[in-house]
C-alpha cells in the first residue's frame, strides 16, 4: 500500500530525508521512532504533501501511484490521513462545516455513499463519543481554543469519520495525559483492520503499550537504521537511541 | 471621454451646478455646492479613488430605468425608493414618513452638497417618542439605467426620545447608474437604533454616498455596513457623537474582487466627554480588486473620558489585489482611551494545508478560510432575516473562482 524507496526530501531546501526505505502493507501497524531531528515528522509531512516539504530523490508510492505530483487533497481523497502533531486552529470555520466539506470530497472521490446532513451529524456525534469529546465541539471553530488533548482527540475523531486506507499519526501521544492517551489509543485500535495500514510516528515507547505495532523502525539522520518487531521498542526504552546512533542523547 | 483629473473636476462641478439650477435649487444648498471643489488627483481624501468613471457623463442624465430584479422584502415594513423617487411604503404605527426633515449636519463632500441641492423630496422617517418598533424597516434604494445616469436618494431617519428601531438601508443598482446618496441617522436621548447598510449593487454601477450618524442625545447606535466592490464605490461615513453617555458601534465587511473598488472614509467625531465608540471592519481583496479604508477618530479638546476603538483587518487573496488602510487619530485631550489596529495579511498557509490534507480542494479551502475571516462579524448580525440574506450574498462573492493561470498559493 505504501512503498517508499530511497526517499530524499528537503524542508525549505535543507536535506532531511537521505535515502529512506519503508514498505507498509494493508493490515500492518508500523511505529517509526527516533531521536529529535531524525526526520520522523518530516516523513509524515512529506507524505501528506505539506508546502516546502519537497521530494528530491527516490519515490513514495501510495496504492501504486507516486505521491510526489499529487496535491494534498488528492492524497486525502486516495485514502491517506495525517493526524497532525500540532493541529491548526481555524476560527470562523466550524468543525461541522469542515467535516462536511472533507467527507463530501473524500467519500465522493472514493465512490462511497454520500451522507445527508442527518447521517453526518449522527456519525460525527458517535465519533466524538468514541474519543470522549463533547458533541458541542462540533459547533466550535476548528480546534479553536481547544486544549492540547482536545486537539489530538479531534484529530482521531476526524480519522474515525474519514476511514482512511493509510493513517499517519505524527506524535499523537505528545502532550497527552495517561487517560487521554488511552482514549486516543482506543480510537486508533478500533480502526485496525486487514485493509488498513497505520504508521505511528513517536519519540517515546509509551504509546506502543496501548497500540501494539507489528513493526518498529528506528530513524536516524534521515534513514531507517534498524527495523524489528515490537520488542525493539522496549530495547530502545531501556538503552536509549544512543545505543543505535552512537551519539549521546540529550535529555 | 477621457479628461485630466482637474478638467474632470471642473466638468463635474459645472454639470452639478447646471442640474441644481434646473431643479430650482437655491439658498444654503446651492451656495455650498457653488463653493465646493470637486476632487482632483492631489486631493488627499480622494487620493486612492479616481473619478474617471464619471467622465462617461453620469451627471448629465437622471436614471429612470425599470428595476428588473427588485430586492426581496426582508421585513413586513418596506419603503421603496426607485431612482431617487419614493415609490411605495408600508410602515408600522409609530413611524411616520414625510418629505420635510431637519437639515443634515456634518456634510462635507461636494457630492453630498450636490445631493442637498437636487434632492427636493427626501424621505424622512420619524419614529415617535418612547415607541419600540418590533420589525426592522427595510428601505430599498434601487436604481437602473442602461446608459450612464445618476440618482440622488436622500434618507433621514429620526428616532425621538426613547424610541427603538432597526432600519435596513439597502442598495440595489442595475446597469450604469451612479447612486449619489445621502443618509442621516438622528437619535435623541435614550433612543436605540440598529442600522444596516447593505451595498451589493451590480459591478457596473457606481455609488458615492455619505452616511451621517448624528447622536444628538444619549443614545446607542449599532451600525452594520456590508458591501461588495463595484466600478466605483465611495462611502464617507461621519459620526457625530454629540452628547455625553452616547455609544456608537460600527462593524463592517467589504469584499472587492476582479477590478472592483471600495473606498471607505470613516470619521468619528468625539466632541463631548464620556462617550464610547467602536469601529471594527474587515476587508477582503482578490484578483485586481482595490479597497481603501481610512478610519479617523477625532477627539476634541473637551471630550475627556472618551473611549474609542478602531480595528481594520484585511485579507489579500491574490498578489494583484490592493488594500490601503490607515488609522488616523487626532486627539486633543489627555484623558482618553483610544486603541487602534490595522493589518493586511494573506490566507494562512498552515490552515490551508490542514483543510487540503482532509481532502478539501484548494479553491474550496480558500473560500472557507475567507468566509471564516468575516464570519465572526456575520454571526453578530442581530436580525435573522438580514443574516439570512447577507450570508449567501457574501458567500457567493467569496465563492468566486480564481481565474486559471493564477497561483493558488
Q: Domain limits of chain B?
A: 5-351
Nearest-by-Cβ selection for B358 from A51, A71, A158: A158
Query: What span, in angstroms and rounded, lies between the C-alpha atoms of B379 and A176?
Result: 33
Domains of chain A: 2-245 (3.40.50.300)
Contacts for B113 with CB less than 8 Å, ≥ 6 apart: B29, B32, B33, B36, B107
Instruction: Find where cell 419614529 sits.
Output: B127
pLDDT band of residue A249 (cuts 50, 70, 90) is low
Is B359 within 8 Å of A87 when comparing Cβ atoms? no
What residue in A sits closest to B353 (Cα-Cα)? A50
C-alpha cell, A123: 456519525
Q: Which residues of chain B have pLDDT under 50?
A: 402-409
Chosen from B351, B358, B366, B375 to mutate, greatest number of chain A CBs within 10 A: B358
Instruction: Establish, for the pair of chains A and B, how many residue pairs have beta carbons separated by less than 8 Å.
Output: 85
Q: With an 8 Å Cβ cutoff, are B351 and A76 in contact?
A: no
- pLDDT tens, A204-214? 888 999 999 99
| The predicted structure's pLDDT at residue B234 | 98
Could you tell me which residues are beta bridge partners of residue A59? A5
**Nearest by CB: B357 against A72, A91, A109:** A72
C-alpha pair distances (Å), B386 with each of B39, B74, B195, B368: 35, 7, 11, 21
Minimal Cβ distance to B357: which of A82, A92, A93: A82
Model ipTM value:
0.96
In three state form, how does the secondary structure of A180-230 look? HHHHHHHHHHHCCCCCCEEEEEECCCHHHHCCCCCEEEEEECCEEEEEECC
Cβ within 8 Å, pair A90-B358: no
The reply to whether residue A48 touches residue B357, judged by beta carbons under 8 angstroms, is: yes
B375 interfacial to chain A (CB closer than 8 Å): yes
Q: How far from B133 is each of A205, B97, B138, CA to CA, in Å?
A: 67, 15, 12
3-state secondary structure of B135: coil
B371 interfaces chain A, CB cutoff of 8 Å: yes
Residues B103/B186, Cβ–Cβ less than 8 Å: no
Nearest to B359 among A50, A73, A141 (CB): A73
Average pLDDT over residues A114-119: 94
Chain A residues with beta carbon closer than 8 angstroms to that of B371:
92-93
Residue B307: beta bridge partners? B276, B337
User: How confident is the model at residue B2, as a pLDDT?
Assistant: 67
Give the predicted TM-score (pTM) of the model. 0.84
Helix/strand/coil for A124 = helix
Tell which B residues from 339 to 358 touch A, by Cβ distance under 8 Å.
348-351, 353-358
The CA-atom distances, in angstroms, between B174 and each of B72, B234, B371 are 15, 17, 26
Q: How far is CA A113 from CA A63, A103, A192, A196, B361, in A?
A: 22, 10, 22, 19, 19
Beta bridge partners of residue B155, listed in sequence order:
B123, B183
- The pLDDT assigned to A5 comes to 97
More confident residue, A175 or B328: B328
CB contact under 8 A, B356 and A73: yes
Beta carbons of A88 and B373 less than 8 Å apart = no
pLDDT at B408: 36
CB-based contact B375 A84, cutoff 8 Å: no
CB B269 within 8 A of CB B295: no
Residue B352 confidence (pLDDT): 96
Q: How far apart are CA B275 and CA A218, in angstroms?
A: 65
How many angstroms away from the CA of B7 is the closest CA of chain A? 47
DSSP string for B10-34: HHHHHHHHHHHHHTT--HHHHHHHH
Mutate to test the interface with A, among B346, B359, B368, B395 (most CBs of A within 10 A): B359
| CB-CB neighbors (< 8 A) of A75 in chain B | 357
Nearest CA in chain A to B366: A93
Give the model's pLDDT for residue B33. Answer: 96
| Percent of residues in chain A assigned helix, strand, coil, to nearest 5 | 35, 30, 35
Three-state SS letters, A201-215: EECCCHHHHCCCCCE
Q: Closest chain B residue to A164 measured between Cα atoms?
A: B358
Q: Quick check: B369 and A82 CB within 8 A? A: no
Please report residues of A whose CB lies closer than 8 A to that of B362.
71, 73
Model pLDDT, residue A208 = 93
By Cβ distance, the residue of B353, B355, B372 closest to A51 is B353
CB-based contact B62:B151 (threshold 8 Å): yes
Amino acid at each position: 500500500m505504501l512503498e517508499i524507496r530511497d526517499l530524499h526530501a528537503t524542508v525549505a531546501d535543507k536535506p532531511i530525508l537521505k535515502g529512506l526505505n519503508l514498505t507498509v502493507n494493508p493490515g500492518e501497524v508500523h511505529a517509526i521512532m527516533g531521536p529529535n531531528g531524525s526526520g520522523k515528522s518530516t516523513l509524515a509531512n512529506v507524505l501528506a504533501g505539506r508546502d516546502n516539504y519537497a521530494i528530491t530523490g527516490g519515490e513514495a508510492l501510495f496504492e501504486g501511484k507516486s505521491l510526489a505530483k499529487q496535491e494534498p487533497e488528492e492524497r486525502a481523497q486516495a485514502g491517506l490521513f495525517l493526524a497532525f502533531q500540532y493541529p491548526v486552529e481555524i476560527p470562523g470555520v466550524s468543525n461541522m462545516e469542515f467535516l462536511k466539506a472533507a467527507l463530501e470530497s473524500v467519500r465522493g472521490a472514493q465512490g462511497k455513499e454520500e451522507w445527508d446532513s442527518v447521517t453526518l451529524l449522527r456519525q460525527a456525534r458517535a465519533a466524538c463519543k468514541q474519543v470522549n469529546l463533547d458533541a458541542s465541539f462540533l459547533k466550535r471553530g476548528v480546534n479553536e481554543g481547544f486544549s492540547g488533548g482536545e486537539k489530538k482527540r479531534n484529530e482521531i475523531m476526524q480519522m474515525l469519520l474519514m476511514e482512511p486506507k493509510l493513517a499517519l499519526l505524527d506524535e499523537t501521544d505528545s502532550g497527552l495525559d495517561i487517560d487521554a492517551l488511552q482514549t486516543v489509543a482506543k480510537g486508533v485500535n478500533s480502526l485496525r483492520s486487514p485493509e488498513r495500514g497505520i504508521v505511528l510516528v513517536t519519540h517515546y515507547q509509551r504509546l506502543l503499550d496501548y497500540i501494539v505495532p507489528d513493526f518498529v523502525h528506528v530513524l536516524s539522520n534521515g534513514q531507517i537504521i534498524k527495523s524489528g518487531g515490537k520488542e525493539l521498542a522496549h530495547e530502545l526504552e531501556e538503552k536509549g537511541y544512543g545505543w543505535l546512533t552512537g551519539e549521546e542523547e540529550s535529555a | 471621454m477621457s479628461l485630466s483629473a482637474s478638467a474632470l473636476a471642473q466638468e463635474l462641478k459645472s454639470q452639478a451646478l447646471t442640474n441644481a439650477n434646473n431643479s430650482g435649487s437655491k439658498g444654503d444648498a446651492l451656495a455650498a455646492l457653488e463653493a465646493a471643489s470637486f476632487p482632483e488627483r492631489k486631493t488627499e481624501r480622494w487620493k486612492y479613488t479616481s473619478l474617471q468613471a464619471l467622465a462617461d457623463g453620469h451627471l448629465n442624465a437622471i436614471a429612470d430605468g425599470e428595476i428588473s430584479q427588485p430586492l426581496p422584502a426582508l421585513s413586513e415594513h418596506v419603503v421603496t425608493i426607485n431612482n431617487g423617487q419614493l415609490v411605495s411604503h408600508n410602515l408600522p404605527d409609530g413611524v411616520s414618513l414625510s418629505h420635510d426633515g431637519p437639515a443634515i449636519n456634518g456634510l462635507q463632500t461636494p457630492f453630498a452638497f450636490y445631493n442637498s441641492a437636487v434632492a427636493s423630496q427626501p424621505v424622512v422617517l420619524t419614529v415617535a417618542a418612547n415607541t419600540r418598533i418590533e420589525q426592522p424597516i427595510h428601505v430599498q434604494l434601487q436604481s437602473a439605467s442602461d446608459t450612464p445616469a445618476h440618482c440622488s436618494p436622500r434618507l433621514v431617519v429620526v428616532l425621538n426620545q426613547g424610541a427603538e428601531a432597526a432600519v435596513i438601508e439597502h442598495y440595489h443598482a442595475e446597469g450604469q447608474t451612479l447612486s449619489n446618496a445621502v443618509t442621516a441617522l438622528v437619535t435623541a436621548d435614550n433612543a436605540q437604533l440598529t442600522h444596516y447598510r447593505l451595498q451589493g449593487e451590480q459591478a457596473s454601477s457606481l455609488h458615492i454616498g455619505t452616511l451621517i450618524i448624528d447622536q444628538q442625545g444619549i443614545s446607542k447606535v449599532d451600525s452594520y455596513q456590508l458591501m461588495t466592490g463595484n466600478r466605483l464605490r465611495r462611502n464617507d461615513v461621519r459620526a457625530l457623537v454629540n452628547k455625553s453617555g452616547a455609544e456608537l458601534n460600527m462593524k463592517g465587511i467589504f469584499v472587492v474582487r476582479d477590478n472592483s473598488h471600495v473606498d471607505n472614509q470613516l470619521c468619528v467625531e468625539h466632541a463631548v466627554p464620556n462617550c464610547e465608540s467602536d469601529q471594527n471592519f474587515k476587508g477582503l481583496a482578490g484578483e485586481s480588486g482595490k479597497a481603501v479604508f481610512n478610519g479617523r477618530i477625532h477627539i476634541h479638546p473637551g471630550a475627556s473620558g472618551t473611549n474609542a476603538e478602531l480595528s481594520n483587518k484585511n485579507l489579500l487573496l491574490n498578489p494583484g489585489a490592493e488594500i490601503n488602510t490607515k488609522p488616523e487619530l487626532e486627539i486633543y485631550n489627555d484623558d482618553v482611551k483610544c486603541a487602534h489596529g490595522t493589518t493586511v495579511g494573506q490566507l494562512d498557509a498552515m490552515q490551508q494545508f490542514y483543510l487540503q490534507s482532509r481532502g478539501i480542494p484548494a479553491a474550496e479551502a480558500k473560500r472557507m478560510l475567507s468566509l471564516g475571516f468575516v464570519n465572526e462579524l456575520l454571526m453578530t448580525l442581530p436580525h435573522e432575516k438580514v443574516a439570512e440574506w447577507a450570508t449567501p450574498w457574501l458567500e457567493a462573492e467569496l465563492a468566486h473562482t480564481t481565474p486559471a493561470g493564477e497561483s493558488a498559493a
